[in-house]
Structure 1
Amino acid sequence: MEDLLLLVHRMPYPPNKGDKIRSWHLLKHLAQRYRVHLATFVDDPDDWQHVPTVQAVCASAHFAALSPRAARLRSLGAVLRNRSLSFDYYRDAGLQGWVNQAVQQHGINRIVVFSSPMAQYADAWPQARRVIDFVDVDSDKWRQYAERKPWPASAVFGYEASRLLRYERQVAASFDASLFVSAPEAELFRTLAPESAARIGWFSNGVDTAYFAPADCASPYAPGDKALVFCGAMDYWPNVDAVQWFASDVLPPLRARDPALRFVIVGARPSAEVQALAAQPGITVTGTVPDVRPYVAHAALSVAPLRVARGIQNKVLEAMAMAKAVLVTPQALEGIDAGIGRELLLADGAQQWLVAVSEALAGPPAALETLGQAARARVIAAYSWDARLAPLDRMIETPAAQDAGAAPALWTPA
């Protein structure tokens, strides 16, 4: 096997947390074909227990401790240098030293980067075949934050949007291939970085359909509860915004008609705003749970009321894989190829959500079961990880000279 360097911004484990799902399967896929040397950060103390699991997949690995509070303070220095806050947030001399030594010691000439701030660690090795998985257009996420947040937060987010986009364009121009999580994300970045359009592609997330499957498990809900469940990291602002909006604009009129309805928010590290929602009638905030699957399996409906979103929502695919009826916003649907009304439900705005939830729960249970079964069949057919990751191998191996005339669709899964 040949050697390959993989740079990931957060330790890719456990594989049930947001972007760690994608990075973990990426690591496992690469480890079947290369001797992988992994450099990554650990920003959650609970993740140190998983180091042996990750090390077992790698030829070598370096785990750099990252304190989010210290990193935020350090990132402020980026303003003096007119560069992205994210760049300085993930800047670490020790990690750079380990990368330099690994590349030289093992003669590494293939580098895969996961998330744009990690590209800085590959700057010294332009002769290598370098592929970056941006996942999402993060700069556009910051732009959306700026539009929704009051000053001074809007000014900070606007600054980061412009500086990060500048850096993303620099990375895409110097790397051999730039990948995203969906066709819309890739197309958006082509419009923002037209100079790199011929080297921009995508591969969507997959789902572990053996793990996320219909299961016979005990219900975590009280008898008689009709749970509308939302799963996600609850310190992530788009998730916080989603549940706050649902709790204020959608849930009260629903509960006025049916007091048995309960909005259940499942996810680690709930922010103060999310914790405060638990004081409202009909809302449960669980915090960290050992397994999200019982909450999804026994819910009346899985909901994804996201108003700001980038890329593919794993939470939606996982609920579909469990044969659960899912109701989403257009933002949460982005990048997911599924039949509206046949494999999932769609609503935009509070009034449509009121109607959609009411009609879904008032109809015959068999209708939701049929929709859920169709959803699982769709995920099995189109979103297995092996199928999703297959195009990556050719991107890593293809000489850059052969890419120049390639159509962007060349890098999309069949």
Structure 2
Amino acid sequence: MNQPKPPLLLLVHRIPYPPNKGDKIRSFHLLKALSERYQVHLGCFYDDDFDRQYISRLQQWCETVCCLKLSKWRAMLSGLSGFISAKAITLPYYYQRQMAAWVSQTQARYGIQKVLVYSSSMAQYADGANFAQLTRVIDFVDIDSDKWRQYAAKSAGVKKWFYQREARLLQQYELAICQRFDRSLFVSEDEASAFRHLLAPDLQSKVLSLLNGVDTDYFSPDAPITCAENSLPANFIVFTGAMDYWANVDAVCWFCQHVWPVLRRHQPQLQFWIVGGNPTADVQALSRQSGVVVTGRVADVRPYLAAARFAVAPMLIARGIQNKVLEAMAMNKAVVCSPMAMEGINAPLNANALVADGVEQFSKACLQLLAAQPAPANRQWILEHFTWPRTLAALPHLIEAEYPL
């Protein structure tokens, strides 16, 4: 007779379905893996009305679901209360009393003893004295506070001051949560190592890495795919990602300003396709440049990856692992990445996986791929290191605290 699955509380800052952007890809696969071993009680938010249609889909992996609307304007006003309480803005931005009540009631009703929190912003819901006796694991994914520090480095004036404040206060909170929780997970060993260096020696053993993965059956050059576009050009390169995310916006703007003119001088017919939802005004403006195409939201990024000459990831602001790079490599596409974009993936550098730093190197690497037709060999690295069954194999042991501290 099968034993009933024990209950587990999973708290995620953004609805983990559909898995169509960075954080949602990881949180969805965590949810899917956890549902095989636990009765999952999921608390999350949705901040895009497009995602509301998917709330009911979560029932197939969850025992109960609380998915609340996160109005960005209301959350922003709430976030500003952080100035009064001397908190990082991130915390009140993601705080709702309804979610806090649901968490407490669900924990008590189902006798939940294990909690997995996804991202520092959701730790506040499991950080009270009534949760102290539970097994609590946080998946920081990456060091959020360092992203704010990077934003500050690229800003001036009031923005710089604001980002510096957020970086300082959020780092204090990250360190406090690591001390109080049983385990702290990060998306790569590079990220975990960087966080350990912020901690006292007696806390460093709490920090472990849990790699991202990629669905290699879905992202496969052999998978049957169709494209909503009537036809794609024969000669284009591609960038994929959520185009309202500052790091992605910064990357494509830098690329179009500095690298794209060089490539067009050598190949006037070449096009650059920016593929991803919710493009900001700055991204939409890039389509005024000759050869640049901004698609907006697409149903499936795979046709664009499959048809492109190669993919670029010129990230100048980044932490953790870039899913866009994993997906392109799984499709067996050549890639040109900044050092930040390749961090954590650490693929062997070759004619199909180029890392370039700065305008001159990045332009040269792109021209190198445009001048040759190398036989891509990137998929094998992904199959050997970044399939979800492989990367999440340790998850049950981390939740059960089976690793010695």
Match of 1:210 among 199, 207, 217: 217
Counterparts of 1:9-408 in structure 2, within 5 Å, are 9-124=13-128, 125-194=131-200, 196-214=203-221, 215=223, 217=225, 220=229, 225-341=234-350, 343-363=352-372, 365=373, 367=374, 370-371=375-376, 374-398=377-401, 403-404=404-405
Residue range with higher mean Cα deviation, 190-199 or 285-294: 190-199
Equivalenced residue count is: 396
2:265 and 2:383 mapped to 1: Cα distance? 38
Instruction: Classify the secondary structure of the residue corresponding to 1:84.
Output: coil
Letter in 2 for 1:40: C
- SS of the residue 1:390 aligns to: coil
Which region of structure 1 is more displaced relative to structure 2, 76-85 or 216-225?
216-225
Match of 1:408 in 2: none
CA distance in 1, matches of 2:73, 2:190: 33
Amino acid at match of 2:271: R
Give the CA deviation at 1:345. Answer: 1.4
TM-score, normalisation: structure 1: 0.93
The alpha-carbon deviation at position 224 of structure 1 amounts to: 5.4
- Matched AA of 1:207: V
SS of match in other structure, 2:366 = helix
Cα distance, 1:270 vs structure 2: 0.5
TM-score of the two chains, using structure 2 as the length reference: 0.95
Percent pairwise identity = 47
CA distance change for structure 1 residues 117 and 223 in 2, over 3 Å: closer, same or farther?
closer
Q: Give the alignment's Cα RMSD to 1 decimal.
A: 1.4
Q: In the TM superposition, what is the alpha-carbon distance from 1:278 to its structure 2 partner? A: 0.7
DSSP-derived class of the 1:316 partner? helix
C-alpha displacement of 1:222: 5.8
Q: Which amino acid aligns with 1:274?
A: V
Amino acid paired to 1:60 = T
**Mapped contact 2:117–2:138 kept (Cα < 8 A):** yes
Structure 1 residue 343 displacement after superposition: 5.0
Q: What is the CA–CA distance in structure 2 between the aligned matches of 1:147 and 1:93, rounded to whole Å?
A: 34
Q: Give the letter for the 2:21 counterpart.
A: K
Q: CA deviation at 1:128?
A: 0.3
Q: Report the Cα distance in structure 1 between the residues aligned to 2:248 and 2:306, rounded to whole angstroms.
A: 21
Q: Distance in 2 between matches of 1:198 and 1:342?
A: 38
Alpha-carbon offset, residue 398 of structure 1: 2.4
Comparing 255-264 with 30-39, which one deviates more in the overlay? 255-264
User: 1:265 Cα deviation (Å)?
Assistant: 0.5
**Distance (Å, rounded) in 2 between the aligned partners of 1:159 and 1:341:** 41
* Offset, 1:167: 0.4
Q: CA deviation at 1:221?
A: 8.0
Secondary structure at the counterpart of residue 152 of structure 1: helix
- Alpha-carbon distance in structure 2 between the residues aligned to 1:151 and 1:286: 33
Distance 1:99 1:228 in 2: 46
Distance of 2:352 and 2:336 partners within structure 1: 10
Which runs of 5 or more structure 1 residues have no equivalent in the other structure? 405-414
Deviations along 1:267-317, one digit per CA (max 9) or x if unpaired, are 111011101111111111100011111111000110001111110000000
* Runs of 4+ residues over 3 Å off in structure 1: 215-225
**SS of aligned partner of 1:278:** helix
* 1:152, distance to aligned residue in structure 2 (A): 1.4
Task: Structure 2: state its 5+ residue gaps.
Answer: none
SS of 2:116's equivalent in the other structure is strand
Structure 2 counterpart SS, 1:403: coil
2:275/2:298 contact within 8 Å kept: yes
CA contact (8 A) 1:225 1:262 kept: no
How many Å apart are 1:194 and its aligned residue?
2.8
CA contact (8 A) 2:234 2:307 kept: no
Instruction: Measure, in 1, the Cα distance between the counterparts of 2:365 and 2:225.
Output: 27
- In 2: Cα distance, 1:115 partner to 1:331 partner: 20
SS in 1 for 2:316: coil
Following the alignment from structure 2 to structure 1, what is the Cα–Cα distance between the partners of residues 106 and 148? 33
Q: What secondary structure does 1:286 align onto?
A: strand
